[in-house]
A and B are shown apart, each in its own frame.
Chain A
């Protein structure tokens, strides 16, 4: 107990001295921030909306506040296992019931930005990950797997969603990669800069949307629409990613922070 207190004190001092830096991994919630688009006959993801209740005016002379509304999966957001049908029956599958210790966890950053810049449909595979491990070392258990694509730099352009007549085009993992990360590396979840943990064309994969299907079916989580993954080291960062405590919530917009050595 005494030792733990010592670690926290060191951490506090490191933060105050900027020897540990805190990186903001969230995009700003605004009506302009894109949301995922499903085929038109399905229910759609609601964009962020904000209406002013009062702003130092006749509705409240000294105070400013807004009413906001959005989908649980709008903006930078967290996917709980219950988000996907494969995770519907597993325990602690909604945001309010997830053990809170999972909200603070280390991350491994895998950089596929070069591949993604030349091929928006780039798929990361088990083979790619094994090659990556040869160079960087083994992926530790209980880590967020953060896929750096630099996709956040495309926010505000048509290339972010990259919606074509045959659907969206953005990078992501294939089935072999997700199975490898879940079953062989025991990841905590997948963290991405794109609109979803799956690739844009993943609806046509087998199984459809393998990241959602396999991650959530095995109690793992998703983080989407992140930014600044290019500012993180490959190993050694810690994510603080705690969703809102929504009853029976399938996910939640959230502010994701990363602690890194300064």
Chain B
């Protein structure tokens, strides 16, 4: 059984932290494709169009008959055939995490593969295989016990592939909005050590503020994403104490482009949604990067919550969608930048929210609690891209099949 995770020890300040070595990033287009599927929590392997054989690792052609390969969902089940524990390596990343267990698994779908192993499995066990993304975004197989057990997600090796909030210190950029507030509660329930919630105006009380102040695990800090001075100051004060940064700030107003187009609202949207993210990242990412290699208490992730309409636009929320498109683009670039530092970048794509700013949109809509729950699950499961709610899932699936058609459908 996996032991419950104990709180990290206080670091001896005289000991130099290990720097953030990362695993070399992926090379082939096929491996990149696998990482895309893995980032959405899918278990897919390439299957030959001609001989129908599944294959692993990712390749450009079938190794048996040179046929073309197509990604297909496969059974996650496998058997652990062999295992070994690595005690010495030239790989700088794994040097910081030794000893490390790996093994050979026979996938029920056919191929044999190397996998990273959960502590609770032994040779001969039937296991479940996840494709996880390592600190550089490489897809890797991870073998888990078939039957879930208490504290399973606390396994040391597994935690290197996830960004679970357990025992971690989390900063929520905007705690004034309901998403931030529900998320703070959910993070504490999920075992977060401390949740810092950003407050853009400490002199303007928000509903339920007293409850937040009374919670000893929640600390409210001044943080205004409209002000570079504020984000810089917050990072100077708290950047060294935060392991996960979650950007919940948003600005949503309805409006079109030409008839009734509101330039000022577009500017406001851009300033919070796009510039705000940039200010937050510019302030916090460099300082978090310096601790991403720490074995005891690493900084692990930047998480951004944004609208699914970032993919398609929306005729009644044109400015908001445009600013979210800019935000998504920035996040994609940030993910690439952070790959070199070992910090993961998570994207939570939200469907229309059941709030006062989405009154013009028909149900189904998602609740703040739903958003919080889905965000926590994505962190615990190591799923970099998550769509929340049926609308977001539907739009994302349509967009993946034919982006232009999805845009057309959303802008009818």
Contacts and interface: CB of A to CB of B under 8 A. Distances in A.
Interface in B210-232: 224, 226-230
A158 B229 contact: no
Interface residues of B, number: 17
Contacts, number: 39
A30 B265 CA distance: 22
B264 interface: yes
B204 interface: yes
A52 B265 CA distance: 23
A34 B201 contact: yes
Interface residues of A, number: 20
B264 A43 contact: yes
A236 interface: no
B275 to A, nearest CB: 9
B256 to A, nearest CB: 16
B205 interface: yes
Contact of B203 (A30, A43, A52, A158): A158
A156 interface: yes
Interface string B250-271: 0000000000001011001001
Interface in B346-388: 356
A30 B230 CA distance: 11
Contacts of A50: 227-229
B204 A52 contact: no
A237 interface: no
Contacts of B230: 31-32
A198 to B, nearest CB: 19
Given A43-B264, A50-B229, A31 B224 contact: yes
A51 B271 CA distance: 12
Q: Is the interface of A mostly helix, strand, loop or mixed?
A: loop
A122 interface: no
Interface in A1-43: 30-32, 34, 37, 40, 43
Given A43-B264, A43-B265, A31 B203 contact: no
A160 B203 contact: yes
Interface string B227-252: 11110000000000000000000000
Interface string A159-183: 0110100000000000000000000
A85 to B, nearest CB: 19
Nearest to A37: B204
Interface in A176-203: none
Nearest to B201: A34
A51 B228 contact: yes
B226 A31 contact: yes
Interface in A29-72: 30-32, 34, 37, 40, 43-44, 46-47, 49-52
A118 interface: no
Contact of A163 (B202, B205, B226, B268): B205
B205 A158 contact: yes
24 contacts: A30-B229, A31-B229, A32-B227, A34-B203, A34-B204, A37-B204, A40-B356, A43-B262, A47-B226, A50-B227, A50-B228, A50-B229, A51-B228, A52-B228, A156-B203, A157-B203, A158-B202, A158-B203, A158-B204, A158-B205, A160-B203, A161-B204, A163-B204, A163-B205
Interface of A: 30-32, 34, 37, 40, 43-44, 46-47, 49-52, 156-158, 160-161, 163
Given A49-B226, A158-B205, 17 more contacts: A31-B224, A31-B226, A40-B356, A43-B264, A43-B265, A46-B268, A49-B227, A49-B271, A50-B228, A50-B229, A51-B228, A52-B228, A156-B203, A158-B202, A158-B204, A161-B204, A163-B205
Q: Which 7 pairs from chain A and chain B are nearest by CB?
A: A31-B227, A158-B203, A163-B204, A31-B229, A51-B228, A157-B203, A43-B264
